[in-house]
Amino acid sequence: MQYPNGTKSSFNGRKQVSSKQTIYSNRGMTLEEDINETNQYYMQQSIAVIHKKPTPVQIVQVDYPKRSAAVIKEAYFKQPSTTDYNGVYNGKYIDFEAKETRNKNSFPLNNIHQHQIDHIKQVMKQGAICFLLIRFSMYQETYFYPANQLLKHWGNQFLGGRKSIKYDTLKEEGYIIPIQYQARVDYLSIIDKYYM
């Protein structure tokens, strides 16, 4: 039997089974896009003000082939960037890094850099709420991972420990954030539950 949408179906005696499955996961949204949409929702609803930090770049050479189309030919990072996002929520400073990995079994610590760790330590000393948002793209799962847990694993790698955080450990120490419609990655709900 052919349905109007083009899918074929077979009859197995009791119910019809479609031979073509629709997969709804991973429709091209990256973690960064999801966070940006979430932050936009937070701002529109006057919940929080959180922005993606621009990467500081020094432009050295620009080509002007047309008056309306400038092309940057050479540029350098002015300084190492810190974390991806920062802002204010309920009078508290929020600072976090967003990372996506295709790895199924662990989150490699080489996705984080020493200058980011230094920045995380500095803002935590000032009372900031600091964390990582980590997406395992193979599972389409996003985790809120507290910075104090990250710092523990970061230090252990230099004492002969793992150079990654096992997926199971991350699930145990972090908090899963279900994908939603409006606040796609509603990390503030985790902050409300565990930090406020």
Percent of the chain with pLDDT strictly greater than 90:
65
Ordered by start, the domain boundaries in the chain are 41-53+81-194
Decide which of 62 and 180 is more confident. 180
Please calculate the CA angle 157-161-163 and round it to the nearest 5 degrees: 55
In 9-163, where does DSSP find H-type helix?
31-44, 114-125, 147-157
Model-level pTM?
0.75
Helix (H, G, I), strand (E, B) or coil at 119: helix
Express each pLDDT in 14-70 by its tens digit: 434 333 333 333 344 699 999 999 999 999 999 999 999 876 666 767 777 776 777
> What's the whole-number average pLDDT of the chain?
83
Q: Tell me the pLDDT tens digit for each residue of 59-79.
A: 767 777 776 777 776 766 555
Q: In whole angstroms, what is the distance from residue 189 CA to residue 182 CA?
A: 13
pLDDT digits (tens, 9 = 90+) for 145-161: 999 999 999 999 999 99
Q: Which residues pair with 87 in a beta bridge?
A: 50, 94
195 or 171: whose pLDDT is higher? 171
Q: What is the rounded distance in angstroms from the CA atom of residue 88 to the CA atom of residue 14?
A: 57
What pLDDT score was predicted for residue 126?
95
CATH of 41-53+81-194 among 3.40.50.2000, 3.40.1350.10, 3.40.50.620, 3.30.70.360: 3.40.1350.10
